[in-house]
């Protein structure tokens, strides 16, 4: 059976706020010809520069994955790339009018909905895959991080996270068929620990944050006074810590939603390899740095064949 390339039937926009920059704006998915791949276009900048969704363009992985090319930057693009890979869209131009992709609820759900609303169409060209034919491993022994890929007829991912805290310990997630991405993975939201959140707030690093776009884990004792301060910051009437150790801004979609979100991030970051992958990924304690280093390694080793 031949797999064909796919693009969108029509253009569609998603509006929102960038989590880190606080900028408000929109992205528009625009249909693109065969072999175009995924590219961003900064329509707000002079000359409307293009930024290729390539691992060669990664410039920062500290709070989300950031790419830059032609003097243009795109912050936090992993959730939108995960949505495209999860729905098997090969060719699309993503126009954006700010530095960052809107965070929405911190998952890929809104991008998936928009792409499906626009419609996905088959193109008259065969899909090129990056077929893994040997084991490739990235390891950071100090941090206990390992990402490995082995040959497989399809794209599969197994993830293990371990934060070693009472509220968020060992969790697993898996995706063995991309058909399950929409239901099982795409609604899974990003998460943060309360102490990180406070650091980010203090240093003005999450300007567009509110308590609706992240699961907040509380891994130490915290007084009501502090919670009231958070409630003020986030414009909520009251914030409390729920039994599961998370703030009451939201309910978990799945018990292992954090592990599923990390899986979503792996899909998004590996999209930067530039081709759909046939291989089985096993990721232990993945993060944006290790994901993108792993993507570079895969791209490099496959080039050397
Ligand atoms: Zn993420």
Q: Is residue 97 part of a domain?
A: yes
215 found inside a domain = no
Two tokens, residue 235: 């414009």
Kindly tell me if the per-residue pLDDT of 286 is higher than 70. Answer: yes
Tokens 């930067």 correspond to 272
Q: Count up the domains in the chain and report the number.
A: 1
| Helical (H) or strand (E) element with 302 | helix 288-303
Identify whether 56 is part of a domain: yes
pTM above 0.85, yes or no: yes
Give the range of the structural domain holding residue 23, as residue numbers without chain letter.
4-128
Q: CA–CA distance from 25 to each of 42, 99, 219, 252 (Å)?
A: 12, 9, 34, 28
Given a contact cutoff of 8 angstroms between Cβ atoms, the answer to whether 101 and 74 are in contact is: yes
pLDDT of residue 24: 93
192 C-alpha vs ligand 1 centroid, how far in Å? 10
pLDDT given at position 124? 97
**101 — pLDDT class (breaks 50, 70, 90):** very high
- Longest CA–CA span in the chain (Å) reads 62
Ligand 1 centroid distance, CA of 63 (Å)? 9
Do the Cβ atoms of 195 and 163 come closer than 8 Å? Answer: no
Q: Work out the number of other CB atoms within 10 angstroms of the CB of residue 137.
A: 12
Say which residue the tokens 């895969």 belong to: 298
Residues 229-250, mean pLDDT to the nearest whole number: 82
Q: How far is the CA of 47 from the centre of ligand 1 (A)?
A: 30
In a domain, 175, yes or no: no
Query: Which CA distances in Å does 139 have to 65, 102, 115, 142, 147?
Result: 19, 31, 35, 9, 7
**Closest by Cα among 151, 152, 162, 190 to 268:** 190
Chain-centroid distance of CA 137 in Å reads 21
CA 269 – ligand 1 centroid, Å:
9
**Considering the domain boundaries, does residue 31 fall inside one?**
yes
Give a yes or no: residue 76 inside a domain. yes
What CA–CA distance (Å, rounded) separates 280 from 152?
A: 6
Distance 69 CA to ligand 1 centre (A): 22
- Residues classed as catalytic: 288
Q: Which residues contact 162 (CB under 8 A, 6 or more apart)?
A: 144, 169, 170, 171, 284, 285
| Ligand 1 centre distance from Cα of residue 106 (Å) | 7
Question: Residue 241 in 3-state DSSP?
Answer: strand
pLDDT tens, residue by residue, 144-183: 999 999 999 999 999 999 998 888 989 999 999 999 999 9
Q: Is residue 183 part of a domain?
A: no
33 located within any domain: yes
Over residues 53-61, the mean pLDDT reads: 97
Domain CATH for 42: 3.30.230.20
**First vs last C-alpha separation in the chain:** 26
């Amino acid at each position: 059976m031949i797999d064909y390339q796919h693009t969108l039937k029509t253009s569609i926009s998603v509006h929102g706020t960038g989590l880190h920059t606080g900028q408000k704006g929109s992205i528009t998915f625009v249909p693109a010809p065969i072999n175009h791949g995924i590219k961003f276009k900064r329509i707000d900048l002079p000359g409307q520069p293009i930024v290729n969704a390539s691992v060669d363009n990664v410039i920062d992985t500290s709070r989300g994955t950031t790419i830059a090319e032609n003097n243009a930057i795109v912050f936090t693009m992993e959730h939108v790339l995960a949505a495209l890979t999860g729905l098997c869209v090969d060719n699309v131009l993503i126009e954006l009018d700010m530095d960052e992709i809107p965070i929405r609820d911190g998952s890929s759900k809104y991008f998936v909905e928009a792409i499906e609303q626009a419609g996905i169409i088959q193109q008259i060209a065969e899909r090129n895959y990056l077929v893994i034919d040997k084991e490739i491993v990235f390891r950071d022994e100090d941090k206990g991080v390992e990402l490995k890929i082995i040959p497989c007829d399809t794209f599969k991912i197994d993830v293990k996270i371990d934060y070693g805290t009472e509220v968020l310990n060992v969790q697993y997630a898996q995706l063995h068929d991309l058909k399950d991405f929409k239901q099982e993975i795409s609604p899974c939201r990003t998460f943060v620990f309360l102490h990180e959140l406070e650091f980010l707030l203090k240093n003005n690093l999450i300007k567009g944050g509110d308590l609706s776009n992240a699961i907040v884990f509380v891994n130490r004792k915290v007084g009501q006074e502090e919670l009231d301060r958070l409630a003020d910051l986030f414009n909520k009437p009251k914030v409390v810590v729920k039994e599961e150790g998370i703030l009451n801004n939201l309910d978990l979609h799945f018990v292992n939603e954090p592990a599923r979100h990390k899986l979503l991030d792996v899909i998004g970051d590996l999209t930067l390899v530039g081709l759909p992958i046939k291989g089985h990924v096993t990721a232990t304690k993945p993060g944006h740095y290790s994901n993108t280093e792993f993507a570079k390694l895969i791209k490099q080793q496959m080039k050397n064949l």
